[in-house]
Amino acid sequence: MRMRERIHPWSQQQHKNECDLGVDSCSLPGQVCNNTFGGFRCDCAGGYEPSATSDSCQDVNECLNDPCPAGPIGSCNNTDGTYSCNCVGGFIYNQATNTCDDVNECLANGGKGNCSDECRNTNGNFITR
């Protein structure tokens, strides 16, 4: 005797992805649509957090957690959805090590940099002779 195969009713249902269809209402700044079983949910995108005063999402001020090299050489610049680290002149921001690295101004021009004769690199500057 053979068993008859049955198809579970819900396997035949079409599951809508409101996010892909573009019919979601996650249109406030910083919001992303996430598909859920039977519906969708508006979440905050990376770099945003739920607003305390409304349904929308607000920028996370990452600079409050000091993610950049310390001042006075390094500084943090909070921007909408992200942030950036900056260094004062003579230093360049190194993302891999999260440090402000000295610019070797003497490397250019065959080791003379902008100097007419001799160039000596220093931390944050250079000496010309």
Q: By the criterion CB under 5 A, which residues form the site for Ca ion?
A: 59, 78, 83, 102, 121, 126
Nearer Cβ to Ca ion, position 83 or 93? 83
- Closest distance of CB 58 from Ca ion, Å: 9
Distance of CA 26 to the CA centre of its chain: 21
- Closest distance of CB 41 from Ca ion, Å: 23
- Closest distance of CB 71 from Ca ion, Å: 18
17 neighbors 23 (Cβ within 8 angstroms):
no
Nearer Cβ to Ca ion, position 40 or 126? 126
Nearer Cβ to Ca ion, position 19 or 103? 103
Q: Which residues of 59-76 are buried (b: 16+ CB within 10 A; e: fewer)?
A: bbebbeeeebbeeebbbb
Sign of CA dihedral 104, 73, 94, 86: negative
